[in-house]
Chains A and B, each alone.
Chain A
Amino acid sequence: MKLTPSFNRSLWAFHFNSGSCNGCEIEIVAAITPRYDPERFGLKLVGSPRHADVLVVTGPVVRKMKDRLLRVYEQMPDPKVVMNVGTCGISGGVYYDSYNLEGPVDEVVPVDIYIPGCPPRPEAIIHGVVKALEKLERIEGGGA
């Protein structure tokens, strides 16, 4: 099975803040600035998960955001890839022992790509997106 024509042209990402301190958001915005200009490859942030191929999750998933994260994940069309940006989503980060935590992210939704850092650099985020594209190609190709 080959990639659909829309995948061949572009990779659209939906950003979900599950309780981040906004450090990762600043770096995600930095990654889409003209300095890196990923949109020339068709990569861009979209406003609805129903249009997205990649779910970019930041934050450690606080209690109020768990249901929202699950709902957003379920609203994405298949095939989909989840990208976790930042240390908080991997381990809880500085909030690891908070009373208000439902995360980390992979305890709520299946995560395909982990990007560590507090916050990660834009280059790391773009590298993660490339990994996400490779993963999607494997899914579409029927491979592992």
Chain B
Amino acid sequence: MGLLSSLSTGTGYWNPLAWVLATAVAMIVVYLIWRRGEASYKKGTAQTTPFISGNPEPEKGMVHVRASNLYWGYLDALKGYYELIVPVHSGFLNDYVLWYLGITALIMVAVVVFA
């Protein structure tokens, strides 16, 4: 019963039953609007393609902004860094272990020399 009781926070209250009721009412309204839509479109024909002023629909890649575009300025400013660092990431574990050993050896040498 505790789950269904109202929780007063001082600035409002939380009641799961109220949320369920509101969601149900919203779903009914959505269904009524959806039911009034045009149902005679023939699927698989041009009738269900988007209208772009009569022009053919371009490939999705031509009209959607890719996520990488958001970082264009960042990547361009650090181009020199990325040109070096990306080829190093070959995907082979052996390469990474070699890098690890090499860098560790350099650090050990540096510690010995400057200690």
Whether A78 lies near B42 (C-beta < 8 A) is yes
Which of A6, A68, A71 counts the most B-chain CB atoms under 10 A from its CB? A71
Are B56 and A77 interface neighbours, CB within 8 A? no
Answer whether residue A100 sits at the interface, using C-beta atoms and an 8 A cutoff.
no
With A77-B38, A78-B40, A78-B42 given, is the CB distance from A50 to B54 under 8 Å? no
Chain A interface SS verdict (over half): helix
Count of residues in A whose CB is under 8 Å from the partner chain:
18
- Binary CB contact string for chain A from 82 to 103 against chain B (1 if under 8 A, 0 otherwise): 0000000000000000000000
Q: Within the assembled complex, what's the spacing in Å between the Cα atoms of A24 and B75?
A: 53
| Chain B residue with Cβ nearest A5 | B36
Q: How far is the CA of A76 from the CA of B47 in the complex (A)?
A: 6
Tell me which of B42, B45, B54 contacts A72 (CB under 8 A): B54
Smallest Cβ-Cβ distance to B54: which chain A residue: A68
Q: Chain B, interface size: which category?
A: 10 to 19
**Chain A residues with Cβ under 8 A from B74's Cβ?**
none
- Cβ of A107 under 8 Å from chain B: no
A74 and B45 contacting across the interface, CB-CB below 8 Å: yes
A119 to B55, CA, bound (A): 27
| Cβ-based interface call for A48 (8 A) | yes
| Interface presence of A75 (CB below 8 A) | yes
Tell yes or no: A11 within 8 A of B by CB: no
Q: Is the CB of B38 within 8 A of A6?
A: yes
Binding site for A on B (CB under 8 A): 38, 40-42, 45-47, 49, 51, 53-56
The 20 listed contacts between A and B (C-beta, < 8 Å) are A6-B38, A16-B54, A50-B38, A50-B51, A51-B38, A65-B54, A68-B53, A68-B55, A71-B46, A71-B54, A71-B55, A71-B56, A72-B51, A74-B46, A75-B46, A75-B49, A75-B51, A77-B41, A78-B40, A78-B47
